[in-house]
């Protein structure tokens, strides 16, 4: 293991991989926790980290619109990695954690977009993104030509196509970069980031994206959203299957907690079985990913399947189950609360 210092930053690496970026604590020992003493475990090669470090130390400015469950931790990770961040959120109290880390709280989306190199949008859906970015007082109009808009919200593929064209007309770069991993992934900087857009734009923004998770360029504008829809189809159907399996085990006289433990490590094991299966067993449905947003994504996937002329029977059933869950008043619960809908069907 080796270390190298630059100003108030220290890099620790082993076998060619960066292990830690310790801000403002260059004389302190490395702690084991990702969060202790400002440690950010990045997992980059030294060359990748040097690129990121150079950008941060030369004052690259990042704007963030939307600092809720996902956007807030993402902004904090960027600050801890050395980037300058200015952020706006409809509920100003959600900016406090960012301000505590040295970020700038903005009074409007336009202010958050002004003078930035990269503007990240993390709002709830396509219409909301369009209204804030391109509507009255359009945030993108405050961006200088050459800057890049990165929409990390889950939006329709067609919306991403239109946004990309609007950015091109303004001389702006554009990436659609939806994420998977939920609140925990945002907090731990372990998000799966699916990116659509021009390869040159992705290469320029990759050091920023890498701070928040693992970014993969999957194709031109819109394909990030296509990949996210594929992800959400898998998530929705897997949650439904895990819920069915645990209910099936319970009604057959087995202890569902012990069944979950017994399946650990086998082919049926998965992060959804481990994390959401536990939520189902404990009936702990505080939203990490709200069911109403899962339904938005499955609806969008079904609409996209129609455009592509595809019949997707498993995804269709999962979409119908989440629709019933939301109609029964559980839309604000975590999507693992789908087991409640299955109980309603069987009681």
- Cβ atoms of 63 and 103 closer than 8 Å: no
* Alpha carbon distances (Å) from 163 to 175, 194, 221, 222: 9, 17, 9, 9
**Alpha-carbon span 214 to 208, nearest angstrom:** 11
**In 3-state terms, what secondary structure has residue 76?**
helix
- Cβ atoms of 288 and 184 closer than 8 Å: yes
User: Catalytic pick from 17, 94, 228, 292?
Assistant: 228
What's the order of all strands across the beta sheet hosting 9-14? Answer: 2-6, 9-14, 17-23
Q: Which residues of 146-172 are buried (b: 16+ CB within 10 A; e: fewer)?
A: ebbbbbbbbbbbebbbbbbebbeebeb
Instruction: Specify the length of the chain in residues.
Output: 347
- Cβ atoms of 279 and 334 closer than 8 Å: yes
The kind and range of the H/E element at 6 are strand 2-6
3-state DSSP of 234-290? HHHHHHHHHHHHHHHHHHCCCCHHHHHHHHCCCCCCCHHHHHHHHHHHHCCCCCCCE
The kind and range of the H/E element at 158 are helix 157-169
**Alpha-carbon span 317 to 236, nearest angstrom:** 10
Rg over alpha carbons for the chain, rounded to the nearest Å, is 21
Q: Catalytic site residue 228?
A: yes
Active-site residues, by number, are 228
């Amino acid at each position: 293991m080796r270390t190298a210092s630059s100003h108030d930053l220290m890099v620790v690496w082993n076998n060619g991989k960066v292990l830690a970026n310790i801000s403002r604590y260059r004389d302190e020992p490395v702690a084991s926790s990702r969060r202790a003493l400002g440690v950010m475990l990045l997992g980059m090669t030294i060359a990748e980290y040097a690129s990121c470090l150079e950008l941060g130390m030369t004052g690259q400015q990042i704007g963030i619109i939307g600092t809720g469950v996902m956007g807030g931790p993402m902004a904090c990770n960027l600050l801890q990695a050395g980037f300058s961040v200015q952020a706006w959120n409809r509920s100003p109290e959600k900016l406090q954690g960012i301000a505590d880390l040295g970020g700038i709280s903005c009074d409007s989306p336009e202010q958050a977009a002004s003078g930035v190199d990269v503007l990240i949008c993390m709002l709830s859906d396509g219409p909301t993104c369009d209204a804030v970015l391109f509507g009255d007082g359009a945030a993108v109009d405050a961006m200088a030509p050459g800057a890049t808009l990165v929409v990390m919200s889950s939006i329709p593929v067609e919306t991403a196509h239109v946004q990309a064209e609007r950015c091109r007309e303004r001389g702006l770069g554009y990436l659609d970069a939806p994420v998977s991993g939920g609140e925990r992934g945002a907090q731990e900087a372990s998000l799966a980031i699916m990116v659509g857009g021009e390869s040159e734009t992705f290469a320029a923004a990759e050091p920023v994206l890498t701070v928040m998770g693992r970014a993969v360029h999957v194709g031109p504008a819109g394909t990030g959203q296509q990949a996210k829809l594929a992800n959400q189809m898998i998530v929705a159907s897997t949650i439904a299957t895990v819920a069915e399996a645990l209910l099936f085990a319970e009604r057959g006289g087995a202890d569902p907690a012990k069944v979950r433990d017994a399946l650990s490590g086998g082919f049926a094991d998965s992060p959804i079985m481990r994390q959401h299966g536990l939520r189902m067993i404990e009936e702990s449905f505080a939203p990490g990913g709200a069911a109403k947003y899962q339904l938005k994504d499955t609806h969008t996937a079904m609409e996209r399947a129609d455009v592509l002329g595809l019949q997707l029977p498993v995804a269709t059933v999962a979409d119908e189950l989440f629709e019933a869950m939301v109609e029964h008043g559980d839309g604000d619960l975590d999507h693992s609360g789908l087991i409640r809908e299955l109980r309603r069907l069987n009681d």
